[in-house]
Amino acid sequence: MRLFFAIIIIYSLSAIHANAQQGINLDNVWSLERCVQYAINHNISIKQDSLTARLARYTLKQSEWSQLPVLSANGSYGSSLGRSINPTTNQFVDGDYNFLSASGNGNLLLFGWLTVRNTIAKNRYMLQASMADLDQVKDDVSLNVANDFLAALLAQEQINVSRNQVDVSKAQLDQTRIFAEAGRLPELNVAQLESQLATDSANLINAIANYTSALLDLKSLLNLDFNEPFSIKVPDVEVGEQLMVSSMQPEDIYQKARLHFGSIKGSELRVSAAEKNVNAAKGNLYPQLSLAYQVGTNFASNYQQVSGYSDTMSGLTPYYSLNNNVRSYNIYETGALPVLTTTPFGSQLSNNFRQSVFLSLNIPILNGWMSQYSVRQAKINLAQQQLSEYNAELTLKQNVFKAHNNALNSIQKYNAAKRAADAAQRALDFAKKRYDLGLTSTVDLLVTQNTAFAASSNLVGAKYDLIFKLKVIDYYLGKELKL
């Protein structure tokens, strides 16, 4: 009874999986090309590197705009209480008044030993390096998508192989029961086939679980909702058409990869950026010539001017005359009192308007050796980038040679697995015929059947392993990853 319920569960899971595959809308069937394109548009790592490239672009724009004059404006308004200096007359006054001042400054670097231009060139190289890094991340994600896609395909093929094995074992069990009831075979054969069916059923459950896990890994890489209906499109792949790699030399693959690989381009561009950074740092050791312009004005509420004279006499006013160049104060005259009014706001701003233009020469003499150490740090950074470039080229070459060797080994493994699967299938066909005639035991049949099942599974694994190894070669050759 337990075996009966186990078989029902296995077939239920298998049926659910088959119905799910058949019931999925065509819009939810994903090919490798669609998966790669979706990952490029939605993968988190690619989005992060896209933001890094945007920051590099803004840095370049800021350095380009730094060539324009620096302009600033300042203004202040307030009240003064008690005795203070009038900002308009520069005299001490008693009392409260309001004041306003406004000024503007402009500065243009005329010559700075190409510091700004080298900084712009450095930032331009850094932007190009960021774009190369982004291309590299896209290629890496595409390869990872191809790996997970092929892993899902392998898991799906294993489901088919396991389901076929379950069907064969079920048919053999039914036939053996008939033979046992007729007395042609002992009940031991039935028990042995029941055990085999249970084992095959467990293998099918494990294959379905592996397929589900592979789909989750692929969805995670695509940044796709786990609840989204998803099914992979099984391509018609002929391995024999892709074995041209066996005639290629790894050095040729490396030279082609070096021309388009983002990591190589990025390392080369960072070396160029580091060289420009050294030149920019050296420019800070020399004088800088600038053109400056300043403008300003002010207003005070207690600033007054004479607008006329009153008719009221002020009394005797000391008046002096010159006699033989000697001042005499014995002469007096009477005068009218002046009438004072606050100078209008616009008049004050106009009267107090001032501006100046001048050249400024900044000569670095001693600044704590900051400029000198900036040059030394820039040179060390250049040496580091040169080592990074060499390491990137060395790593790429190692990976290419390893990928080429892995592809050749996979070809040999696939050919061996294919021969083994063909031989195991022929042996199984003969064993079935002998079993039907009663010329072989159930144990011998099961051993031959398990051998054929293992050979078939190994062939499927070797096939998709070879396809992935060949896709890795396409990845280094810069080809589009598709099936």
Over its length of 483 residues, how does the chain's per-residue pLDDT go in tens digits? 444 444 544 554 454 455 445 445 566 889 889 999 999 999 899 999 999 999 999 999 999 998 889 999 999 988 888 777 776 667 777 777 888 889 999 998 888 878 899 999 999 999 999 999 999 999 999 999 999 999 998 899 889 888 988 988 888 888 888 878 887 778 888 888 888 889 889 989 999 999 999 999 999 988 888 888 888 888 777 776 556 777 789 999 999 999 999 999 999 999 999 999 999 999 888 889 999 999 999 888 877 776 666 655 555 445 445 455 555 444 445 556 666 677 788 888 888 889 999 898 888 887 778 888 999 999 999 999 999 999 999 999 999 999 999 999 998 899 999 999 999 999 988 888 887 777 777 778 888 888 888 898 899 888 888 888 888 998 998 888 887
- Say if residues 217 and 149 touch (Cβ distance below 8 Å): no
Residues 472, 473, 477: CA angle, nearest 5 degrees: 120
* CA distance linking residue 217 with residue 208, whole number of Å: 14
Kindly state the tokens that stand for 107.
């500065």
Residue with tokens 């066909």: 429
Helix H or strand E encompassing 334? strand 326-342
User: What pLDDT, on a 0 to 100 scale, did the predictor assign at position 22?
Assistant: 47
User: What pLDDT, on a 0 to 100 scale, did the predictor assign at position 310?
Assistant: 65
Give the other-Cβ count within 10 Å of 185's Cβ: 20
- Say if residues 143 and 261 touch (Cβ distance below 8 Å): no
* CA distance linking residue 237 with residue 29, whole number of Å: 17
Which whole-number Å values give the CA distances from 366 to 282, 362, 378, 413, in the listed order?
A: 15, 12, 20, 71
Tell me whether residue 351 is exposed, middle or buried, using C-beta atoms within 10 angstroms of its C-beta: 0 to 12, 13 to 18, 19 or more.
Answer: middle
Contacts of 188 (CB under 8 A, 6+ apart): 442
User: What pLDDT, on a 0 to 100 scale, did the predictor assign at position 313?
Assistant: 52
SS (H, E, C) 370-390: HHHHHHHHHHHHHHHHHHHHH
Kindly state the tokens that stand for 179.
């033979």
Say what the pTM is. Answer: 0.76
Contacts of 415 (CB under 8 A, 6+ apart): none
User: What pLDDT, on a 0 to 100 scale, did the predictor assign at position 2?
Assistant: 47
301: left (phi over 0), alpha (psi -120 to 50) or beta: alpha
* CA distance linking residue 399 with residue 401, whole number of Å: 6
